Amino acid sequence: MTEQLRLMAVHAHPDDESSKGAATMAKYVSEGVDVLVATCTGGERGSILNPKLQGDAYIEEHIHEVRAKEMAEARDILGVKQEWLGFVDSGLPEGDPLPPLPEGCFALQDVEEATGALVKLIREFKPHVITTYDENGGYPHPDHIMTHKISMLAFETAGDPTRYPEAGEPWQPLKLYYNQGFNRQRTLALHEALLARGMESPYGEWLERWLTAGRERTLTTFVPCGDFFEIRDKALIAHATQIDPDGGWFRVPLDLQREVWPTEEYELAKSRVGTSLPEDDLFAGIRNN
């Protein structure tokens, strides 16, 4: 392929792009790939998770603007482009029974209608590859599950001239992947490596939960991107309301991560090109066509 390769990562909230596949995106940017993050919501209902910023009245009152600025900083660190789809954060309902979702939020939108915004962006950017979440959302946040739904429908309809004719000239992406960076294989490898070094592991409870979680996801694609883990972490720290720089995300030394598990993982969900599994490149089957 002689034209510039293009990758679109579809995420639910600002900060998701930095915690899921960020090193992969930074790697591809360094290779000249055009990378665009599509952020479905503004994160308006996200909690302030960094204990150092909790209770800050300005942040609480202006959370939408603050998270937009954090997104801009992370975007610049990763070297990617970024667009907002303009939906409103649904929040994460808690309690028993669960409270209803707020009126007008992303997760309550009609799937067909909401998909139109993503189809328009796909037809404008013309990605060869799209990454998104699996049917469980990676974890069952209503916005993540809705992101999955519109991503799947957009992949199927963006190339169909009879669907969303107002959204521009048709464009058919060639591959769609689910982010699977939080997988048992990686977690177990890092857990055992930490214990072997006499260090405390933050993954004990995660592994216990996996014992009762049922079947594991199929990992098809392992992208080598260890050289970009530091950029990933800087982008994540830029989302200061969401991430404690002294928290569990950063307890595993980068040198250990690069030695033990220097990849980010994906599950190939749809492909319009031939490829051989496992892969080490999201563009496998596309580069040589």
Cα(27)–Cα(22) distance, integer angstroms: 9
Token code pair at residue 220: 């098809």
Cα(87)–Cα(106) distance, integer angstroms: 5
In the numeric block, the tokens 């034209």 are attached to: 3
Q: How far is CA 132 from the centre of its chain?
A: 6
- Using DSSP's 3-state secondary structure scheme, residue 111 falls into helix
- DSSP class per residue in 121-190: HHHHH--SEEEE--TT-SS--HHHHHHHHHHHHHHHHTT-TTSSGGG-S----SEEEEE--S-HHHHHHH
The answer to whether 141 is annotated as binding is: no
The answer to whether 244 is annotated as binding is: no
Query: Residues annotated in the binding site, as ranges?
Result: 13, 16, 144
Residues annotated within the binding site for Zn(2+) are 13, 16, 144
